[in-house]
Amino acid sequence: MKSKKEIRDQENTERLESTIATLESFKENKDLPRVIRNQIKDIYDILKEEKNGSISVRAANAVSMLDSLTQNRHMESHIRTSLWQVVSKLESIREQ
């Protein structure tokens, strides 16, 4: 039987992987302005690199960066909405 910590860690990992997959699709999307793709790539890299800290630290850093990114007035509304969904997933990643 898994402990609560193991279950939480598995849930956090699944959320992180889902978020990374979403960001990967955006960073490859040539319809987005390059400046936005580059910012998404930076966020993607932070989430992928384990040397950037624990999952919860990486998620918190990414949330901060995404918050700034979603304020970009040149961003299409459907992309902004998708990024807010990413923020929501990242905010649910916690460490206890």
DSSP string, 38-62: HHHHHHHHHHH-GGG--HHHHHHHH
| CATH hierarchy code of domain 4-91 | 1.20.1440.50
Q: In a 10 Å sphere around its CB, with 0-12 CB exposed, 13-18 middle and 19+ buried, how is residue 74 labelled?
A: exposed
Residues written for the chain: 96
* Residue-range domain boundaries for the chain: 4-91
- Read off the pLDDT of residues 73-92 as tens digits, 9 standing for 90 and up: 888 899 999 999 999 999 99
Provide the token pair at 96: 């206890």
pTM exceeding the 0.95 threshold for the entire prediction: no
- Considering only CA atoms, give the Rg of the chain: 14
- Read off the pLDDT of residues 34-83 as tens digits, 9 standing for 90 and up: 999 999 999 999 999 989 889 999 999 999 999 999 998 888 899 999 99
Instruction: Assess contact for 9 and 17: CB atoms under 8 A.
Output: no
Instruction: Assess contact for 65 and 39: CB atoms under 8 A.
Output: yes
